A = this chain, B = another copy of it.
Amino acid sequence: MSVPVPLVIGLDVGGSSVKYVAAALGSAPGDAPQVLRRGTLATPGRRPVAGLVAAVAEACGSDEVHALAVSIPGLIDSGTGRVIRVANLPELDGVALQEELASALSLPVRVINDGHAAAIAEARWGSGQGRADVFTLALGTGIAGAHVLDGQVRVGANGSAGELGHVVVEPGGARCSCGQLGCLETIVGAPALQAAWRDAGGSGSPVELLRAFGDGDPRAVAVVERAASALADAILTLLALVDPGCVVIGGGLASAPHRLVLRAAQLVAERASFHQVPPILPAALGRWAGAVGSAATALECLGEDALGATR
């Protein structure tokens, strides 16, 4: 079988693993990238650029690759692709990642925020498909948000829009990693949920908490109700300020059977006053959304670089 051309690689770099996809253009304009191969590697430690170059080699096998995009859980300078700040990968802090990878691989490279990569994919080809105005949330250790307008993330004037996790829902509440008190993350972030679940006498991860909630365990019901209530309040603030056409919620804590998302959506509907409540939907693409969004970005950067070359 011949490999479609151009072939691109999308990498989604997390704290412990790197997901990769090798992909080609979808069959029609606007279609999702056609994923030819995908897999997972350990996140490289001390020499991250060399490690990511090796990941690209594994992803493309013997095929020629034409562009690369890498998504990183941190703040990226969108002009240069330099990593400004990253939470769980201190080796990448301050690295001119886009430039270094482009130079090592002789390829067009883009470096983007991982929440933005997943948001692009989810808004275009997941639960937001067919809508021009989608706000995506990823519930995990942190809470990442992104407002996707016409398929592109509105990153904000300083690159930091969409931080629903740092909307204060409980003034004077617990101290957040960001320094504020009572951010949504202090109640709905995975570590906060896990601590509340233990305090209530439960054992295991937040996923087990959600399972116990589904089984009607009253200790789990109390913890999840508080989380769903805080999430609903934050979403009402989002509706008041941003008024998106659709809210899509993904990430580990929103995965099937979507109990937290469904309960939060119910509470938003009950509490809405003047708000226009849009559809609030669980994400559809699962854990590959970030890598697919990266591949889409790589395909787009091919187009941009071609335009640049003919100027």
Report A's interface with B, CB cutoff 8 A: 133, 145, 155-164, 166-171, 176, 178-180, 233, 236-246, 271, 273-276, 278
Given contacts A178-B274, A179-B273, A274-B178, contact A156 B242 (CB under 8 A): yes
Q: A171-B171, A171-B233 are in contact. Are A273 and B180 (CB under 8 A)?
A: yes
Are B178 and A273 in contact (CB-based, < 8 A)?
yes
Query: Cα distance A271–B172 when bound, in Å?
Result: 13
Q: Which residues of B contact A168 (CB under 8 A)?
A: 233, 236-237
Contacting pair A240 B164 (CB below 8 A): yes
The contact of A241 among B169, B233, B241, by CB within 8 Å, is B241
Find chain B residues with CB under 8 A from A167 CB.
237, 240-241
Complex CA gap A166/B236 in Å reads 9
Known: A171-B170, A171-B171, A180-B273. Is A157-B241 also a contact (CB below 8 A)? no
Q: What separation, in Å, do the CA atoms of A133 and B171 have in the docked complex?
A: 29
- Out of B155, B156, B166, B245, name the residue touching A244 (CB < 8 Å): B156
Residues in B whose Cβ lies below 8 Å from that of A242: 156, 161, 241-242
Q: Once the chains bind, are A160 and B276 in contact (CB under 8 Å)?
A: yes
How many copies of this chain does one complex carry? Answer: 2
A60 to chain B, nearest CB (A): 36
- A169: which B residues are within 8 A, CB to CB? 171
Q: Which of B160, B243, B274, B276 contacts A274 (CB 8 A)?
A: B160
Interface CB pairs A-B, < 8 A, 11: A145-B241, A157-B243, A157-B276, A160-B239, A161-B241, A161-B243, A162-B243, A166-B273, A171-B171, A171-B233, A180-B273
Contacts of A170 in B (CB 8 A): 171
Contact of A157 among B145, B237, B245 (CB under 8 A): B245
A156's closest neighbor in chain B, by CB?
B243
Q: How far is the CA of A163 from the CA of B273 in the complex (A)?
A: 12
- 8 Å CB contact of A164 from B163, B239, B241, B244: B241
Q: Which of B156, B159, B240 contacts A166 (CB 8 A)?
A: B240
